Structure 1
Amino acid sequence: MSSTTPAMVPVIDFSNQNLKPGSPEWDSVKSQVREALEEYGCFEALFDPILELRKVVFGALQEAFDLPLETKKLCVSDKPFRGYLNPRSGLFQSLSMDDACVAENIERCVTNTLWPQGNISFSKTLASFTQLASELEKIILKMILESFGLEKYMDELIDSTNYHLRVMKYEKPKTKDSTHDAHCDSNMMTLLYQNEVWLNGRLPSPTHRVMMKGNEDRYSLGLFTRPRGGYVIKVPNELVDDNNPILFKPHDHEEYLKFYYSEITQAAVKSGGYISRLKAYCSV
């Protein structure tokens, strides 16, 4: 591939009904997952059950973001990257909620604030998406752990996971092409997981950006599978040896997010992005 040829992110199909652990189909997809993550740090996943929700999900997002700004700003949180965010640029806005697999959690964190009279269909729609996306995430996680011989950690990681859902709207570009820091380039659903620390740098975590084109607003969902506050992320002993020294110190991800969000840290490593801040916080 020449230096002027755009990299094509691999597309991996997870919709096969025969995709069961130990089957030839499973082993084939598992190899594709590891190769894609080692080479690109990401891939496009095809998963029919999620695609079937596409129309109703994006309808729910438009309904929420069409509410008055004063109403959306009532969604606040004392934790970083939660509640309603509306940067000064005005081009991007988002709503975030924790434990989004359960409709009642979405109801409590967001829906009851946006619609005091109630809107259970909004909560159920987003919870349905999160449940299906978390199902896909567990398949991918199991494949990654198997490929590194770390299957014994599966239950521990699932039990420690907070399914943090962020729904987003990007305003249509004011110029021909505009680039925003974001997580997808269309009306899309994105699953994000930070492997850099836990796998001791074996799989890269690339920076996500968006190139906005066209004359339409863009809506997207990002499901962040984050460790719960209080859970200490540490590199498994199996991934450390003389040729692969430990790269990161054990840490609490919620404490790291506070560090990431601080003005001092942003000024110190503003050109380095997420990974630079991560290394500043917990590298050995």
Structure 2
Amino acid sequence: MAHTDKNTVTILGQNDVQGLEIQPKEDNNTWVPVVIPEGAFVAIVGDALKAWSNGRLHSVRHRVVLRGEKERYSWGSFLMPKDGSRVQAPEEFVDKDHPPLYRGFTYADFLSYFVSTLKDDALDVFAGLPDVVDDRDQLAVN
């Protein structure tokens, strides 16, 4: 199932069977294969890090597609904020050219919201600042 990760960073590794695909943010109809060399891993930015970076880092929508008969094995390490800590963009990431995109929140509250709704756009709905989210939507249309 295609999704963005809700945590801060996911580190993925796999055997020699490929299958990870990402969706460019400019094109919701295209999937791009990610070739992970044997013995390497990939780091994926999650929604919590996107919020903390005030949108400067993007959480990528991704999925796994299996083709052929060979088994694919993968492992993941999921980094998340310390329990009870607040996710909020530092002052250095907010200025007149980069207005705040998200209100501060605790990761536990965000995760609870996501689990209760399973909304793909959980970050924008839960913590997005309405005027900014509307402006981003308008920019994407133009």
TM-score (norm 2): 0.58
Q: Which has the higher contact order (CA 8 A, sep 6+)?
A: 2
- Structure 2: segments with no counterpart, 5+ residues: 1-7, 22-33, 130-142
Is 1:203 paired with 2:48?
Answer: no
In 2, the alpha carbon distance for the partners of 1:202 and 1:164 equals 17
* Residues 163, 228 of structure 1: alpha-carbon distance in 2 compared, 3 angstrom cutoff: farther
1:234 match: 88
Deviation at 1:203, TM superposition (A): 1.9
User: Which secondary structure state, in structure 1, belongs to the residue aligned with residue 59 of structure 2?
Assistant: coil
- Structure 1: segments with no counterpart, 5+ residues: 1-161, 169-176
2:43 match: 191
Deviation at 1:164, TM superposition (A): 8.2
Per-residue CA distance 1:99-146 (angstroms, 9 max, x = gap): xxxxxxxxxxxxxxxxxxxxxxxxxxxxxxxxxxxxxxxxxxxxxxxx
Per-residue CA distance 1:46-104 (angstroms, 9 max, x = gap): xxxxxxxxxxxxxxxxxxxxxxxxxxxxxxxxxxxxxxxxxxxxxxxxxxxxxxxxxxx
The letter of the residue matching 1:281 is F
TM-score (norm 1): 0.31
Identity of aligned residues (%): 27
In 1, the alpha carbon distance for the partners of 2:51 and 2:64 equals 25
Which is higher, the Rg of structure 1 or of structure 2?
1
1:131 match: none
* Residues 229, 164 of structure 1: alpha-carbon distance in 2 compared, 3 angstrom cutoff: farther
1:52 match: none
1:249 match: 103
User: Which secondary structure state, in structure 1, belongs to the residue aligned with residue 80 of structure 2?
Assistant: strand
The letter of the residue matching 2:43 is L
2:128 match: 283
User: Which secondary structure state, in structure 1, belongs to the residue aligned with residue 112 of structure 2?
Assistant: helix
* Residues 200, 238 of structure 1: alpha-carbon distance in 2 compared, 3 angstrom cutoff: same
**How many residues are treated as equivalent by the alignment?**
103
* Residues 232, 277 of structure 1: alpha-carbon distance in 2 compared, 3 angstrom cutoff: same
User: Which secondary structure state, in structure 1, belongs to the residue aligned with residue 51 of structure 2?
Assistant: coil
Deviation at 1:200, TM superposition (A): 0.4
Q: Which has the higher helix share?
A: 1
